[in-house]
Amino acid sequence: MLIRKRSTRKFMPTSLSNASEKLGMPPGSLIHVGDIQEEDSRISVIDFNRTELQEPVVETVEELLKFREKDSITWVCLEGLKNVEITELIGHYFKIHPLVLEDILNTHQRPKFEEHDDYLYIVLKGLSLDRDAASVNGSFAVYHEQISILVLNDFVFTFKEKKDDLFLPLVQRIRNGNARVRNLGTDYLTYAILDMIVDQNFLLLDSLDENIDAVEEELLSNPNSNTLVAIQRIKRELIDIRRSITPLRELLSSVQRSDTKLIGEKSQIYFRDVYDHVLRITETTDSYREMLSGLLDIYVSSVSNKMNEIMKILTVFASIFIPLTFIAGIYGMNFEYMPELKWKWSYPVIWVVFVTVPICLILFFKKKKWL
């Protein structure tokens, strides 16, 4: 078996030195590369056809082989990729190309669709809201999990990085004997899985939408430098989301243009449906991006406006009191011959001046629309 380690494919190594080391490592075995380090692996198997359904507990990969003879669809879902041996054995028994196995384990893949002789390989990102990060610092954080799908004649394998309930609704639909998925082949099951993953993004977009609204409200009521940081953080998440989602468009149009026998004529309409969803999602992210740049414009303007406000106060105070202080200064001079100092009405008169000058100035400013 020829599976070499390709450590250099690691996309974002935690540290530079670490990656440099791996660059020189001798090839030999598959390794898992990814940020999500789920300790245990879980294999779930569901085998069904129109009439029967079986959910066996499977301990070893070899146990899967017996389903090959059965006239039924077997969906094997592996969650947790750290134990690379399982993937290696699946690759061995089901004759998967070593490069595909590497791509499954290296979780920094670009979403893509590959058509091989006996199977299809689909890899994409499942995005979900990172609720922990959100609850800690109230910010918006997204979790990018890589999900690989292998579609064979009677088998569908899904490889997930972490254990969760993403596919539970689908499994329940399969358990229900009447569901359409029971009557159709692996292509429809593949569609249902893709649909599940893609539709999850709508939840994400809702949350994004809420965050943008919150930021916008804050911008209009009380803009501060945290608002800018918040805008920037959402923008950055959006860049990542777009990077995960944009290639899906291409992926699904490849699926549709493909003439593989593994996807039947009748299932094409379903894939077109997922494709429409992807288009809607990408267009929505595009418009969020425009909105964010609009928010930035508001922020910059509101900062300028605030400066204007501050300048106005200063100007009012300075422009009014500086002349008055000067007037007071005049009569604080100690010249011997200053006739006004001796007059009896000087002091009341000067108070009249002190009151009328500011009034005139303010009226003048108002008229000039400076205030």
Residues 44-73 that bind a copy of itself (CB under 8 A): none
Under 8 Å between Cβ of 230 and 260:
no
What is the full DSSP assignment across 310-345? HHHHHHHHHHHHHHHHHHHHHTT---S--HHHH-SS
Residues linked to residue 158 through DSSP beta bridges, in sequence order: 77, 149
According to DSSP, the β-strands at 73-79 and 155-160 are parallel
Q: Which of 36, 133, 214, 279 binds a copy of itself (CB under 8 A)?
A: 279
Q: How far apart are CA 101 and CA 81, in angstroms?
A: 11
Nearest distance in Å: CB 97, a copy of itself = 7
* Site membership for a copy of itself, residue 318 (CB under 8 A): yes
Q: Which of 37, 54, 153, 232 binds a copy of itself (CB under 8 A)?
A: 232
* Site membership for a copy of itself, residue 10 (CB under 8 A): yes
State which of positions 258-277 bind a copy of itself (CB under 8 A): 269-270, 272-273, 276-277
The identity of residue 194, as a single letter, is L
Nearest distance in Å: CB 69, a copy of itself = 29
Q: Which of 340, 352, 360, 366 binds a copy of itself (CB under 8 A)?
A: 340
* Site membership for a copy of itself, residue 172 (CB under 8 A): yes
Nearer to a copy of itself, 95 or 236 (CB): 236
* Site membership for a copy of itself, residue 344 (CB under 8 A): yes
Binding mask 94-113 for a copy of itself (x = CB under 8 A): ---x-x--------xxx-x-
Nearest distance in Å: CB 83, a copy of itself = 24
* Site membership for a copy of itself, residue 359 (CB under 8 A): no
Q: Which of 257, 261, 342, 367 binds a copy of itself (CB under 8 A)?
A: 342
Nearest distance in Å: CB 291, a copy of itself = 7
State which of positions 179-198 bind a copy of itself (CB under 8 A): 179-180, 195-196
Strand, coil or helix: 198? helix
* Site membership for a copy of itself, residue 39 (CB under 8 A): no
Q: How far is CA 344 from CA 122, 168, 295, 349, 350, in A?
A: 99, 97, 63, 10, 11
Nearer to a copy of itself, 79 or 103 (CB): 103
Q: Which of 94, 140, 159, 299 binds a copy of itself (CB under 8 A)?
A: 299
* Site membership for a copy of itself, residue 213 (CB under 8 A): no
Q: How far apart are CA 371 and CA 357, in angstroms?
A: 17
Nearest distance in Å: CB 49, a copy of itself = 17
Nearer to a copy of itself, 58 or 371 (CB): 371
Q: 44 φ, ψ to 5°?
A: -115, 135
* Site membership for a copy of itself, residue 13 (CB under 8 A): yes
**Residues of 83-97 as b/e, b for ≥16 C-beta within 10 angstroms?**
ebebbbebbeebebe
Q: Please give the span between the terminal C-alpha atoms of the chain, in angstroms, as a whole number.
A: 81
State which of positions 134-153 bind a copy of itself (CB under 8 A): none
Nearer to a copy of itself, 49 or 207 (CB): 207
Under 8 Å between Cβ of 67 and 148:
no
What is the full DSSP assignment across 41-58? -EEEEEEE-SS-EE----
* Site membership for a copy of itself, residue 1 (CB under 8 A): no
Closest residue by Cα to residue 84 from 113, 57, 107: 107
Q: How far apart are CA 159 and CA 102, in angstroms?
A: 12
